[in-house]
Structure 1
Amino acid sequence: MERRWGITVPLPGLPLADQRELIAELPDLGYTDVWSAEANGTDAFTPLALASAWAPRLRLGTAIVPVYTRGPATLAMSAATLAAAAPGRFVLGIGTSSNVIVEWWNGIPFDEPYKRVRDTLCFLRRALRGEKVTEKYNTFEIKGFTAAVVADPAPPLLLAALRPGMLRLAGREGDGAIINWLSPQDVRTVVPHVHGGGQGKEIVARIFVLPDVDADTARGVARRQIAAYLNVPVYRAFHEWLGREELTPMWQAWESGDRKGALAAIPDSVVDELVVHGPAERCRERVQEYVDNGVTTPVIALLTQGDPAAAVRALSRR
Structure 2
Amino acid sequence: MDRWGMTIPLSGQTPLESKQVISELAELGYTDAWSAEVNGTDGLIPLALAADWAPTLRLGSAIVPVYTRGPALLAMSAATLADLAPGRFVLGIGTSSKVIVERWNGGEFAKPYARVRDTLRFLRDALTGKKITQRYETFEVDGFRLERPPAVPPKIALAALRPGMLRLAAREADAAITNMLSPQDVRKVRAEVGADTELIARIFVVVTEDRERARAIGRRLLAGYLTVPVYAAFHEWLGRGEALRRMQELWAAGDRRGAVEAIPDEVVDDLIVHGDPATCRARIREYVASGLDTPVLAPLLGADVPVAQAVRDLAPER
With structure 1 as the length reference, what TM-score do the two structures score?
A: 0.97
**1:119-143: CA deviations, max 9, x gaps?**
0000000001111111000000000
Q: Which residue of 1 aligns with 2:17?
A: 18
Could you tell me whether the CA contact under 8 Å between 2:8 and 2:15 is conserved in 1? no
Mapping of 1:90-239 within 5 angstroms?
A: 90-195=89-194, 199-239=195-235
**1:76-107: CA deviations, max 9, x gaps?**
00000000111000000000000011011111
Measure, in 2, the Cα distance between the counterparts of 1:300 and 1:18: 18
Q: How much does 1:21 deviate? A: 1.5
Q: How much does 1:16 deviate? A: 2.4
Measure, in 2, the Cα distance between the counterparts of 1:301 and 1:213: 17
Please identify, of 71-80 and 303-312, the stretch whose mean Cα deviation from structure 2 is larger.
303-312
Could you tell me whether the CA contact under 8 Å between 1:81 and 1:151 is conserved in 2? yes
Measure, in 1, the Cα distance between the counterparts of 2:32 and 2:206: 19
- Aligned length in residues: 314
Could you tell me whether the CA contact under 8 Å between 1:99 and 1:110 is conserved in 2? yes
**1:25-73: CA deviations, max 9, x gaps?**
1111000100000010011111011111011011100000100000000
- Aligned residue for 1:226, secondary structure, equals helix
2:243 is matched with which residue: 225, 242, 246? 246
Question: Is 1:288–2:288 an aligned residue pair?
Answer: no
Q: Which residue of 2 aligns with 1:262?
A: 259
Measure, in 2, the Cα distance between the counterparts of 1:17 and 1:294: 34
Could you tell me whether the CA contact under 8 Å between 1:159 and 1:174 is conserved in 2? yes
- Give every structure 1 segment of 4 or more consecutive aligned residues whose post-TM-superposition deviation is greater than 6 Å: none
Measure, in 2, the Cα distance between the counterparts of 1:193 and 1:315: 30
Q: Which residue of 1 aligns with 2:36?
A: 37
Structure 1 vs Structure 2 CA RMSD: 1.0
Question: Is 1:46–2:42 an aligned residue pair?
Answer: no
- Aligned residue for 1:17, secondary structure, equals coil
Measure, in 2, the Cα distance between the counterparts of 1:68 and 1:255: 26
Q: How much does 1:14 deviate? A: 3.0
Measure, in 1, the Cα distance between the counterparts of 2:286 and 2:165: 24
Identity of aligned residues (%): 60
Could you tell me whether the CA contact under 8 Å between 1:92 and 1:156 is conserved in 2? yes
Q: Which runs of 5+ in 1 are unaligned?
A: none
- Aligned residue for 1:31, secondary structure, equals coil
- Aligned residue for 2:134, secondary structure, equals strand
Measure, in 1, the Cα distance between the counterparts of 2:263 and 2:9: 28
Could you tell me whether the CA contact under 8 Å between 1:176 and 1:194 is conserved in 2? no
